[in-house]
């Protein structure tokens, strides 16, 4: 199957206040964000033509920029309205949204105090193909050699572009070795997250998840914690050592792209997606307003 490059598509992208043709949404090769990683972004999912928890995502984009030392020149309300304009312009019903803000090319060097802060919002179709039952097969993770950095060595609470370099390296290495993704430990050797999703463990009916003190406290993570508590499940946020996987029955990931994704293997440890994982997969789907056409799911699973 040939890939459709993201720079050669039909549609429009919102850039600095205006909708522009998709292929014209470009930046200069000497953009500061490209050379020094001075950019922040979000990943958002669209269900039924609306972004799930849009305001929370937009507020986090602003917060990320503040951590990197710049101010986004559009309010939360303005960016929310621009996002809806992009969805309407591109007729996105079920899809993915990528807002990004970055320092421009006015100054080239480590210092870039006078650079313009640019903002763009793109969206594309991303339908849901599988039923909760099909997703319960689970994915396989290896353990990355790269670790999430300490909060005094990197802006770990910002969704900053530069922080994802080791995620890309980790995921590529995992895929090259036959795995779906990689588990990343933190600077202390404790369980942190996957390359783009938070992690939960089920031990004797109790949910455990790492305390997000050096990585993002994901919006989907918080949503799933709320869903679990509504069900009466106990949720414990704490430091988790990798050897605890030996006494863990279920594992799943949460994220905007991952949603709730069961895990069946991490390194040499194996798990069976069970009742708690299945319940939260289904509850999350209901929370975002997803309904399932069983016949369509069967066709897609067989294709």
Residues 218 and 73 both lie in one domain: no
Q: Catalytic amino acids?
A: 159
Q: Is the dihedral of CA 284, 196, 216, 125 positive or negative?
A: negative
Q: Would 176 be classed as within a structural domain?
A: yes
Q: Would 301 be classed as within a structural domain?
A: no
Whole-number pLDDT of residue 137: 87
In sequence order, what DSSP letters do the residues of 189-214 get, joined into one string? Answer: S-EEEESSSEEEEEETTEEEEE--SS
CB 42 within 8 A of CB 61: yes
Q: Would 4 be classed as within a structural domain?
A: no
Q: Would 277 be classed as within a structural domain?
A: yes
Q: Would 226 be classed as within a structural domain?
A: yes
Whole-number pLDDT of residue 299: 34
Distance CA 74, CA 129 (A): 35
Asked which of 103, 125, 147 is the last residue of a domain, the reply is: 125
Whole-number pLDDT of residue 131: 57
Residues 89 and 165 both lie in one domain: no
pLDDT 10s digit of each residue in the chain, 303 long? 468 899 999 999 999 999 999 999 999 999 999 999 999 999 999 999 999 999 999 999 999 999 999 999 999 999 999 999 999 999 999 999 999 999 999 999 999 999 999 999 999 998 765 556 667 889 999 999 999 999 999 999 999 999 999 999 999 999 999 999 999 999 999 999 999 999 999 999 999 999 999 999 999 999 999 999 999 999 999 999 999 999 999 999 999 999 999 999 999 999 999 999 999 999 999 999 875 444 333 333 333
Residues 141 and 113 both lie in one domain: no
CA 293 to chain centre: 25
Distance CA 70, CA 78 (A): 18
Residues 141 and 278 both lie in one domain: yes
CB 85 within 8 A of CB 19: yes
This prediction's pTM: 0.92
Q: Would 296 be classed as within a structural domain?
A: no
Which segments within the chain are labelled E, that is strand?
12-15, 18-21, 39-41, 44-47, 50-51, 95-103, 117-125, 139-148, 181-186, 191-194, 198-203, 206-210, 235-238, 250-255, 259-266, 269-270
Residues 179 and 53 both lie in one domain: no
Residues 184 and 281 both lie in one domain: yes
Q: What are phi and psi of 289, to 5 degrees?
A: 85, 20
Residues 92 and 211 both lie in one domain: no
Residues 120 and 138 both lie in one domain: no
Residues 88 and 196 both lie in one domain: no
Residues 120 and 193 both lie in one domain: no
Residue span of the structural domain in which 207 resides: 132-287
Whole-number pLDDT of residue 134: 63
Asked which of 125, 153, 177 is the last residue of a domain, the reply is: 125
User: C-alpha distances in angstroms, 239 versus 167, 185, 207, 235, 259?
Assistant: 21, 11, 13, 13, 23
CATH number of the domain encompassing residue 92: 3.30.470.10
Q: How many domains does the chain have?
A: 2
Structure tokens at 24: 């014209």
């Amino acid at each position: 199957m040939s890939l459709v490059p993201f720079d050669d598509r039909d549609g429009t992208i919102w850039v600095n206040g205006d909708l522009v043709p998709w292929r014209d949404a470009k930046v200069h090769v000497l953009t500061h964000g490209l050379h020094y990683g001075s950019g922040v972004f979000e990943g958002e999912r669209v269900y039924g033509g609306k972004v799930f928890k849009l305001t929370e995502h937009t507020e986090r984009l602003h917060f990320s920029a503040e951590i990197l030392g710049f101010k986004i020149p559009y309010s939360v309300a303005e960016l929310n309205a621009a996002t809806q304009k992009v969805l309407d312009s591109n007729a996105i019903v079920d899809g993915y949204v990528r807002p990004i803000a970055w320092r421009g090319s006015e100054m080239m060097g480590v210092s870039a105090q006078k650079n313009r802060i640019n903002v763009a919002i793109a969206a594309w179709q991303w339908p849901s193909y599988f039923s909760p039952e099909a997703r319960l097969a689970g994915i396989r993770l290896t353990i990355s050699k790269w670790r999430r950095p300490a909060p005094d060595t990197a802006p770990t609470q910002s969704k900053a572009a530069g922080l994802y370099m080791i995620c890309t390296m980790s995921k590529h290495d995992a895929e090259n070795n036959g795995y779906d993704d990689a588990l990343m430990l933190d600077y202390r050797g404790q369980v942190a997250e996957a390359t783009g999703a938070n992690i939960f463990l089920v031990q004797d009916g109790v949910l455990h998840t790492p305390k997000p003190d050096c990585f993002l406290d994901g919006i989907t993570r918080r949503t799933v914690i709320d869903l679990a508590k509504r069900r009466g499940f106990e949720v414990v946020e704490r430091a988790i050592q990798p050897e605890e996987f030996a006494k863990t029955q279920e594992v799943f990931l949460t994220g905007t792209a991952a949603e709730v994704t069961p895990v069946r293997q991490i390194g040499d440890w194996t798990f069976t997606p069970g009742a708690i994982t299945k319940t939260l997969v289904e509850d999350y789907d209901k929370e975002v307003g997803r309904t399932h056409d069983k016949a369509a799911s069967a066709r897609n699973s067989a294709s």
